[in-house]
Amino acid sequence: MGTKTDKEGREIVEIRYEMAIPGTFATGPIMGHMLNKLKDKELWGNRCGKCGNVLFPPKIVCPKCFEEPTEWVKLDEWGYIATFDVVHFPTVNPLTGIMREVPYTTLIVALPNGGGFFHFCLEHDPEKLAPGKRVVPVWKEEREARPSDLEGWVLAED
Amino acid sequence: MYTTDKLPLDQKDCFGKRGLMSIPYRYFAGVFLSRALIALRDEKKILGARCEKCDRVYFPPRSRCERDFSKITELVEVGPEGTVEELTVVNYEEEYFKKFCPMLDIPYTMALIKLDGASTKILHRIPGDKVKRGDRVRPKWLDDDRREAMITDIEYFEKV
Amino acid sequence: MTKRTRNVAISGIGQTRHRGHREDINMVELVAEAVEEVLADSKMDLKDIDCIVHGNMELFEGVHQPDMWHVLGDGAYGKAGFRITTGGTTGATIVCSADHLVASGMYDSVLAIGWEKQEEGMTTTGITNMADPLWEREVQTGAITGTHGVMMMNKFGEPANQAAAELRVLMADNARKNYKAHLRIEITRQDVLESRVLAWPLRLLHMCPESNGACAILFVSEELAKKLPQKPVWMHDHVTVHRQETFDLVNMGDLDTHGEAARVLYARNGIVDPIKQIGVFEMYDPQSWWALDWVGKFLMLENGEQIDMVLNGDFAIDGRFPLNPSGGVVSSNPIGATAIIRVAEAALQIRGNAGEHQVPKDVELAMSTGFGGTFWTVLHLLGAEKPDK
């Protein structure tokens, strides 16, 4: 709340306000199942019966075929880097209202059985990262059925 | 509930993920409206905007007449007394409201009040639930050190 | 050619000067500035306008249904009104909507208004809210991404880096000729290549600013266009294509919205050689790396020919294929207005009264794009002649 003085010396009203509306987002049985399995340190996707693609995060319908997936698939605990971003621009995580520390690295993990998803990478040196490199997940000690149960992904040691 | 007969699903897997939608904002009133809001704080005066073309006086003030689109630059004093035109009684409290401004105890009345000299009504609050249409009201101001150039510098309206 | 019930013309354009700070006005007054200009430009009386279509991205100001409040400043009192919000493409979609409304015969005149008072919110946080709260919202970074840059560098090497920087310099040169633009800076390729890294190889100078601005366009029927003073700019066609983010992030190439939109538009309108047949292209370019990639996709270039085109100056105002003579999005980005500004600038070029940043030739056809969240692409085609000629 309050006022400030503008460049021309006039007093103008500037209301500062943090909008922080609490929400409860319904997961449904499919995302709910996948998120619950994160607590067991397991990654589960589902497979389309028609094209055989594995979908992670799991979907209600296969986006290519419009068919319902027919089985749950437990994913291997590794993937490849499809692409990555080492970000030096701080942004706020709107779900928590907390500013992210920079640099932070986002990446797209490509799964060996097909498909890919966004997550964080714990390696921030762009020299060490490249598309095609193997990555493995790092799990948090305390898990709450959220994507952040995975701390992030690191380069696999060969 | 939604079911698929292909993929095995368990109702117990459904849950509600808690989160916020948290974004910081800064709202600017603009130079013209700021003059009126500052007058509330510094002079305990209620200023409306007068359209030269059609003679309507808008409170809260605005710098365009909505009817003929002419620019408004004149502020004139309205009120301080007014007449209650419409009202409703509120019996509902929520913690979240208190974040923005001090709230009255329930039950309180939300009223559309036509201040003397204004062509528009303003929405404000009156304590209690004994208000009737046609009642005359006047503003009760916050103390000098608590006014901040906002409409809530008028803490509430009370019956004359 | 898609069949039209009737022709629609642009007969009025109004735009504010886009600035980083407009603390002296509130949102309503911002919109009123653009509306005042469009009324003066078209010499149309407010009372004769049938309908207002209003759009912006709500999370940037934190005011929901702002079209209700904005009746105070956009002349919508007592008229029909629509509100449209489609993320970054809001401006382009309100143009599609206004086009449909007049073409259908429902209204004879529609005022489309796009605006954003960006400084009142937090841009990247607002954009991140578009992502689904169950998985993606925690890992999104909005438009600050270097992935396209990485892809172009892998494919084409250092020339891509030089071309992205050169494209940025070209946009700055154009913006200095456009007094409505926000960033009117004088920079060299070296300045761009040495600016601060945001998400490698995306640098600060590659990225668009956060601007406050509004733009209004008046769409009228053919009958009404004859009575108004400005040269009418005819709406020919538009295409909208988009895809959802988590479909298949690994094989993104399969779902190329830009190429698809261009293919459909060109097929429908008899365009076989866009570089020759289209006079001016106002492309939505939030960052220079995206611009470098997308201009190739829109022009159906398979092998990075656009890199040579940039380095040869083909995209300059007096070049073979002028790109963003207004300076583009990388010079002014009031998000809710940006896509409609592209249409407005394309229309100004066809009219021939864009002022200092007018391309020095007669423009028969102009194209403009909008871009938003889930790679949503809206492509507009405007012409100096009526579409059914």
- The pLDDT score that the predictor gives to residue C371 is 92
- Report how far residue C9's alpha carbon sits from residue B97's, in angstroms, rounded to the nearest whole number: 48
Instruction: Determine whether the interchain pair B28/C23 forms a contact, defined as Cβ–Cβ distance below 8 Å.
Output: yes
In a domain, A67, yes or no: yes
Number of other CB atoms surrounding residue B2 within 10 Å: 9
Residues C267, C367 share a domain: yes
The pTM score is: 0.92
Which range (A102-111, B79-88, C217-226) has the least confidence?
Answer: A102-111
What tens digit of pLDDT does each residue of B108-159 get? 999 999 999 999 999 999 999 999 999 999 999 999 999 989 898 999 999 9
- Could you give the count of Cα atoms lying within 13 Å of B122 in the half-sphere of its Cβ? 28
How far, in Å, are A90, C122, C168 from residue A121 at the CA level? 16, 25, 30
- The pLDDT score that the predictor gives to residue B8 is 84
Label residue C322 by pLDDT band (50, 70, 90): very high
Q: Give chains near A: 3+ CB pairs under 8 A.
A: B, C
Does residue C109 contact residue C221 with C-beta atoms inside 8 Å? yes
Identity of the residue in C28, C77, C133 whose CB atom sits nearest the CB atom of B17: C133
How far, in Å, are A104, C67, C86, C88, C244 from residue C126 at the CA level? 19, 19, 14, 12, 18
Is C166 strand, coil or helix? Answer: helix
**Mutual angle of helices C158-175 and C288-298, in 10-degree steps:** 100
Q: In what order do the strands lie in the sheet with C109-117?
A: C80-83, C51-55, C109-117, C212-221, C8-15, C233-241, C376-383, C365-372, C280-282
- Report how far residue C225's alpha carbon sits from residue C213's, in angstroms, rounded to the nearest whole number: 27
- Could you give the count of Cα atoms lying within 13 Å of C183 in the half-sphere of its Cβ? 25
Residues C150, C69 share a domain: no
Q: Average pLDDT in the C273-294 region?
A: 94
**Mutual angle of helices C90-103 and C335-351, in 10-degree steps:** 60
How many domains does one find in chain A?
1
In a domain, C133, yes or no: no
pLDDT at residue B65 above 80? yes
Any idea what DSSP says for residue C62?
Answer: T
Identity of the residue in A19, A25, A110 whose CB atom sits nearest the CB atom of C62: A19
Label residue A18 by pLDDT band (50, 70, 90): confident
Residues C327, C273 share a domain: yes
Cβ neighbours of B148 in A, within 8 Å: 1-3
Instruction: Determine whether the interchain pair A14/B14 forms a contact, defined as Cβ–Cβ distance below 8 Å.
Output: no
Number of other CB atoms surrounding residue C190 within 10 Å: 10
- The pLDDT score that the predictor gives to residue C345 is 97
Per this entry, what is the length of chain B? 160
Cβ neighbours of C293 in A, within 8 Å: none
Label residue B3 by pLDDT band (50, 70, 90): low
Per this entry, what is the length of chain A? 158
How far, in Å, are C29, C60, C154, C213 from residue C35 at the CA level? 10, 21, 46, 12
**H/E run at residue C277:** helix C274-277
In a domain, A138, yes or no: yes
Is B42 strand, coil or helix? Answer: helix
Percent with pLDDT over 90 in chain A: 27
Does residue C122 contact residue B23 with C-beta atoms inside 8 Å? yes
Q: Average pLDDT in the B15-19 region?
A: 88
Does residue A59 contact residue A69 with C-beta atoms inside 8 Å? yes
In a domain, A93, yes or no: yes
- The pLDDT score that the predictor gives to residue A126 is 83
Q: Does A99 touch chain B (CB under 8 A)?
A: no
Does residue A108 contact residue A75 with C-beta atoms inside 8 Å? no
Label residue A52 by pLDDT band (50, 70, 90): confident
Q: Average pLDDT in the C221-244 region?
A: 93
Cβ neighbours of C200 in A, within 8 Å: 85-86, 126
Instruction: Determine whether the interchain pair B20/A97 forms a contact, defined as Cβ–Cβ distance below 8 Å.
Output: yes
The CATH number of the domain holding residue C149 is 3.40.47.10
What tens digit of pLDDT does each residue of C21-47 get? 999 999 999 999 999 999 999 999 999
In a domain, C301, yes or no: yes
- Report how far residue C228's alpha carbon sits from residue C210's, in angstroms, rounded to the nearest whole number: 35
Identity of the residue in A85, A94, A116 whose CB atom sits nearest the CB atom of C199: A85
pLDDT at residue B1 above 50? no
Cβ neighbours of B16 in C, within 8 Å: none
- The pLDDT score that the predictor gives to residue A132 is 87
Q: Average pLDDT in the C153-164 region?
A: 92
Provide the token pair at A36: 């619950």
The count of CB pairs under 8 A between chains B and C is 68
Provide the token pair at C141: 């970074």
**Domain boundary assignment for chain B:** 31-159
Supply the range of the domain harboring residue A113.
Answer: 28-155
What tens digit of pLDDT does each residue of C165-174 get? 999 999 999 9
- Report how far residue C148's alpha carbon sits from residue B13's, in angstroms, rounded to the nearest whole number: 38
- Report how far residue C231's alpha carbon sits from residue B47's, in angstroms, rounded to the nearest whole number: 45
Instruction: Determine whether the interchain pair C125/A94 forms a contact, defined as Cβ–Cβ distance below 8 Å.
Output: yes
How far, in Å, are A100, B29, B150, C85 from residue C62 at the CA level? 22, 14, 18, 14
Residues C200, C109 share a domain: no
Q: Give chains near B: 3+ CB pairs under 8 A.
A: A, C
pLDDT at residue A89 above 80? yes
What ipTM is given for this predicted complex?
A: 0.88
Number of other CB atoms surrounding residue A75 within 10 Å: 18
In a domain, C306, yes or no: yes
pLDDT at residue B37 above 60? yes
What tens digit of pLDDT does each residue of B89-114 get? 999 988 877 777 788 999 999 999 99
Percent with pLDDT over 70 in chain A: 98
Whole-angstrom Cα Rg for chain B: 22
- The pLDDT score that the predictor gives to residue C192 is 95
pLDDT at residue C254 above 80? no
For residue A79, the chain C residue with the least C-alpha distance is: C250
Residues 6+ apart with CB under 8 A from A149: A38, A39, A139, A140, A143
pLDDT at residue B77 above 50? yes
Residues C251, C119 share a domain: no
- Report how far residue C339's alpha carbon sits from residue C214's, in angstroms, rounded to the nearest whole number: 11
Instruction: Determine whether the interchain pair C146/A118 forms a contact, defined as Cβ–Cβ distance below 8 Å.
Output: no
Which range (C24-28, C111-115, C120-124, C258-262) has the least confidence?
Answer: C120-124
How many domains does one find in chain C?
2
Residues C222, C166 share a domain: no
- Report how far residue C36's alpha carbon sits from residue C47's, in angstroms, rounded to the nearest whole number: 13
Q: Does C25 touch chain B (CB under 8 A)?
A: yes
Does residue A122 contact residue A108 with C-beta atoms inside 8 Å? no
Q: Average pLDDT in the A121-150 region?
A: 90
In a domain, C2, yes or no: no
Distance from CA of C256 to the nearest CA of B (A): 30
Q: What angle do CA B14, B18, B20 make, to 5 degrees?
A: 145
Q: Which of residues 13-72 of B touch A (CB under 8 A)?
A: 13-31, 33-34, 37-38
State chain A's mean pLDDT as an integer.
Answer: 87
Identity of the residue in B19, B38, B150 whose CB atom sits nearest the CB atom of A25: B19
Supply the range of the domain harboring residue C78.
Answer: 8-123+211-227
Does residue B109 contact residue B88 with C-beta atoms inside 8 Å? yes
Provide the token pair at A137: 């997940």
- Report how far residue B149's alpha carbon sits from residue C197's, in angstroms, rounded to the nearest whole number: 42
Provide the token pair at C93: 């979609």
Note every long-range contact of B141-144, with CB atoms under 8 Å and residues 24 or more positions apart, other chains counting: B141/B44
Which amino acid is it at B28? Answer: F
Provide the token pair at C226: 């004859």
In a domain, A13, yes or no: no
Residues C314, C167 share a domain: yes
Residues C81, C38 share a domain: yes
Distance from CA of C119 to the nearest CA of B (A): 8
- Report how far residue B42's alpha carbon sits from residue B44's, in angstroms, rounded to the nearest whole number: 6
